[in-house]
Chain A
């Protein structure tokens, strides 16, 4: 009880109560969960006086701790999946995760492509699966409270192994759906991509508007040497959700890694990316397109860590802010003494459409090597009046002219991530952008 008393808010106390109620029934190493939870009890929820959370005061934003979601039976899970239609058409191997638990009946686990092996996290934790040794490849993440809470509460997710040399053509689509009353979910997914393999992972996150769900999702990618990994994440959580997500990408040598995060949904989002260049001659691109309105708050925080030499990192973030919404971009690129010939470029651009919007940009470079090329930039502005005039002078009404310009602004991230040849995927990713823009119109 001593721990509980030092908490300052109902949400912190609530989280402690939820943990003590749930801990006995959560799968896997109880001691590891207790250690992770202790990191939370040490500091409580992060607030604006914690440097990394300065612009996203989680302690103020999280009023209470929602109850942990229970596992739905097959029928209810299937109904929840059937009700989530937005990303149902993506041509991919589907893995449905409903209310924090894998819904095997709504997944294609029985028909996996050659070289792909998938185990549910709950099963892997229960049996102490050897692949779990690859979790936590980036130790810095362990100190992060969102990640630590996930480690304490994680219920399920999947452990994916892509065997050495496997070229997986069909994307793997993780469909996260949360249904029912406001609840908290904690999922963790591990993707271990072995030497020479290639794979595309898609995540879509959906829940209904108006329900204050609290998802906390972690995806850990370990890309061994000579792999090619594409990751596309669509955050279409409902407008009352408080969504925390963490991506860790541990990259070996000669890896081509790409991640794109597309955000249209939640009331509050914090997306954290930890990317470590552990092998030489690797390229890693982190991109994001964020659209916020009303009182929404979207935070993207990057920790890019160059350890190995001759690597290239590219970060491109686009944010469109309407209403009284807030955008946050924090990007830190660290270049260790060993990471000579690093080439890093980071750019964050925001368009403010209203008087009430706010954008906070905080790029940081921390360079200890002396032969590197690193650049960062941040811009914040309005739509160009001359371009708007040109489009309107051709008969395009203002809302459509604005939408056209914003679509091209945001679409650059999709163009870069997907490339011209994959039109289907590009359209899949542009659809939520267009839907957001037309809802605004």
Chain B
């Protein structure tokens, strides 16, 4: 399970997370909602291991182990996966080369044998077909020239391939049309399992109609200010974030 305790984070002297507490059980899909600037993306980067932040206090525990001292690659080996809001384009690195390097690096670090090329290709193709990703895209440089929707699908393909235990989806719905949203949501739902945990970060309830969460947490001003069941998302959609912003101002 994932436990975040009293996390305090600044960037260039500006406080982004201010004593955030959150606990997500194995098998749980937790939605994180909140207005712009509430610290949602920072939370996802901190869990994945981005270095640009000053962590002043707190812990991020995966099954009781604090991961804050680990580099991003070590965290990935532990099963952390961040589906980026803006997946990066890497010119000159073929998608297949990247996928193979990543999968084999993770397997190697876990003491598993590296996959043979035919076995690897079989797995990638199966995942690509489910996500309606054309094979031709896999031969191109990673994310270069891909549309927003294609990039998001490529993130989910990686998730399907790596089979991580802790998945963070950072605004995976942004930039997706309704058909692409359904494909992506189906891909995520297929990965739901009792030993896999999801943090789904989104502004809108729309995504949560397709990926139905077990719990919903509202972030404002760098903290979780309210937690509840999936009905909380519906309530937010109706009333907006005004109440929470008002609380901040008060």
> Which residues from chain A sit less than 8 Å from chain B, CB to CB?
385-387, 389-398, 400-401, 404-405, 407-409, 411-412, 415
Contacts and interface: CB of A to CB of B under 8 A. Distances in A.
Interface string B36-77: 000000000000111110000000000000000001110111
A395 B71 contact: no
Given A385-B51, A401-B73, A404-B101, A394 B92 contact: no
A177 B186 CA distance: 60
Given A389-B72, A390-B84, A395 B102 contact: yes
Nearest to B80: A393
B162 A395 contact: yes
Contacts of B82: 393
- The 6 A-B pairs with the shortest beta carbon distances in the complex, nearest first, are A408-B92, A395-B76, A395-B106, A392-B72, A394-B102, A392-B73
A412 B49 CA distance: 30
B228 interface: no
Given A390-B88, A393-B48, 9 more contacts: A392-B73, A394-B102, A395-B73, A395-B105, A395-B162, A401-B73, A404-B97, A409-B92, A415-B92
Contacts, number: 78
23 contacts: A385-B52, A387-B88, A389-B72, A390-B88, A391-B102, A392-B73, A393-B72, A394-B102, A394-B162, A395-B73, A396-B73, A396-B105, A397-B109, A398-B73, A400-B105, A404-B93, A404-B97, A404-B101, A405-B90, A408-B90, A408-B93, A411-B92, A412-B91
A398 to B, nearest CB: 7
Nearest to B161: A394
B50 A389 contact: yes
Interface of B: 48-52, 71-73, 75-77, 80-82, 84, 87-88, 90-93, 97-98, 101-103, 105-106, 109, 141, 158, 162
A396 B73 CA distance: 6
A400 B109 CA distance: 13
Contact of B51 (A389, A394, A405, A411): A389
B93 A395 contact: no
Nearest to A403: B101
A397 B92 contact: no
A391 B84 CA distance: 12
B79 to A, nearest CB: 10
Given A389-B50, A389-B51, A391-B102, A397 B73 contact: yes
A396 B101 contact: yes
Contacts of A401: 73
Nearest to A411: B92
Given A395-B73, A404-B98, A390 B105 contact: no
A394 B88 contact: no
Contacts of B52: 385
Given A392-B71, A412-B92, A397 B105 contact: yes
A387 B90 contact: yes
Given A395-B73, A395-B109, A390 B102 contact: no
B88 A386 contact: yes
B91 A408 contact: yes
Given A396-B105, A400-B101, A390 B90 contact: yes
B49 A393 contact: yes
A396 B107 CA distance: 11
A405 B98 CA distance: 10
A386 B49 CA distance: 12
Contacts of A411: 92
Nearest to B92: A408
A401 B98 CA distance: 10
Contacts of B48: 389, 393
Contacts of A404: 93, 97-98, 101
Scoring A394, A395, A408 by chain B CB atoms within 10 A of each residue's CB, the highest score goes to A395
A421 to B, nearest CB: 15
Contacts of A408: 90-93, 141
B165 to A, nearest CB: 13
Contacts of B103: 395
A163 to B, nearest CB: 39
A395 B73 CA distance: 4
Given A400-B101, A404-B98, A404-B101, A393 B76 contact: yes
A310 B71 CA distance: 54
Nearest to B94: A408
Contacts of B106: 394-395
B90 A396 contact: no
A256 to B, nearest CB: 24
Nearest to B164: A395
Contacts of A385: 51-52
A368 B56 CA distance: 61
Nearest to A394: B102
A88 to B, nearest CB: 26
A394 B158 contact: yes
Nearest to A386: B88
A411 B91 CA distance: 11
A411 B141 CA distance: 13
Contacts of A400: 101, 105
B105 A405 contact: no
Contacts of B102: 391, 394-396
Scoring B72, B105, B158 by chain A CB atoms within 10 A of each residue's CB, the highest score goes to B72
A11 to B, nearest CB: 41
